[in-house]
Amino acid sequence: MMTLVLTACPAGLRGDLTKWLMEITPGVFVGRPSARVRDELWLRTIELCKDGKAILVYSADTEQGLEFRVHNHDWVPTNHDGVLLMLRPSAPATPARKTGWSTARAMRRARRPR
C-alpha cells in the first residue's frame, strides 16, 4: 500500500497519477502498485513536480512497516536508532517583545487633565 501527497504540483501530474492510483482528495493518492511501478511513479513525480512538494509513504519490511520519501519538502526523514522519523524544521525565532508601556497608554495619559 502506498500514499502519495502532492502540494503545488501541476494538474498534468495529478492526471497522470490517476492511471495507477486513486485520488481520494485533491493531491492525495493511494494504491497498491508493485515496487517497480511505485519507484517509476516516484521518479515521474520528481520529474514533473518542479517547484511543488511531494511525500511518498509506502509499506516496507521494516520494524515500523513503512518508509518515507520526500521531494522539496521542509520535513526530512531521519533515522533515529533504527526508527524512521520525520524531522520538522524548527520554527523561526520570534522577535523579542518590547517591555514597558504601550504607545496607546502614553497617549491616553498625555490627554488626561491634571
Rg of the chain in Å (alpha carbons)? 24
pLDDT exceeds cutoff 90 at 110 = no
Question: What is the tens place of the pLDDT at every residue in 38-72?
Answer: 999 999 999 999 899 999 999 999 889 999 999 99
The residues spanned by each domain of the chain are 2-90
The pLDDT score that the predictor gives to residue 50 is 85
Task: Give the lowest-confidence range in 2-6, 23-27, 76-80.
Answer: 76-80
Q: DSSP labels for 41-64?
A: HHHHHHHHHTTSEEEEEEE-SSSS
Mean pLDDT of 22-49: 96
Secondary structure class of 84 (helix, strand, coil): strand
- Whether pTM > 0.85 for this model: the answer is no
> Quick one: cell of 87?
524531522
CATH 3.30.70.240 at 2-90, yes or no:
yes
